Amino acid sequence: SAGPTQSRCSVVVPYASDIAYVENFEAQSTFEEWMARPHVASFRFEDREYVLFCQSDPCPGAFDSTPLRKQSLLLGNKLGNRSAIAMGRVALSEYSQEIHNAKFCLVIRGDTPSSHGFFDAIAANCIPILVSDRWSDVAVPFSHGRSGTVKEGIDITAFTVRFSQERWMNDMDFVGNTLWNITSNPEVAWRMYAAMQEARPKLLWSMPNNTVADQVLLSTKKCSLAD
């Protein structure tokens, strides 16, 4: 007899965050502490090609994200000592300190449209700045679907600043002004911070009393019932 057919139902599961593993969740961060963080933005990336490889060569049609990541250095130059943006690996403890000292953390697509940096940012109470045009297509946590197409998932718009890749590469003044407008308006900043607090238990596997597994199971059920 024929064997069982493989399910084509896919669910986007949140990355496990290295920062979340070492985060002291008992120490409640406040909005006032977030506003007092010395750096506007933080980002760390390696000096390598950011493109998906198939063995020794880039996969056919793979997008090279290296220019997107190196563009962060321009933002760092604009912000000066109000940023911690650099190329090169550091120890986890230093990386953790950098993002805990920043109000915003850059989340720029790498080899794929998704990035563990999004979950590191949430773990550190650092509002994500997302630069990844295909995030909504393949990377929204808990989105689900069949045959390679996913939909729904958690709404991140309330606690994420998002720029198109084109805007990011060609209008850094707009990027800087957007961050300034948020930080100079405490009401807007507080709404984003509060929305991030609400989302953290849904996204961080290491957070006590998190609901990540429940969210995954719910998305799996929705996907399996969608015929």
State residue 190's pLDDT score: 97
State residue 4's pLDDT score: 46
DSSP for 94-153?
A: HHHHHHHTEEEEEEE--SSS--THHHHHHHTT-EEEEE-TTHHHHTSTT-EEETT--B--
State residue 131's pLDDT score: 97
pTM score: 0.91
pLDDT of residue 1 exceeding 50, the answer is: no
Q: Are 83 and 40 in contact (CB under 8 A)?
A: yes
- Residues 11, 15, 17: CA angle, nearest 5 degrees: 160
Return d(Cα 136, Cα 12) in angstroms, integer.
11
pLDDT of residue 93 exceeding 50, the answer is: yes
**Averaged pLDDT of the chain:** 90
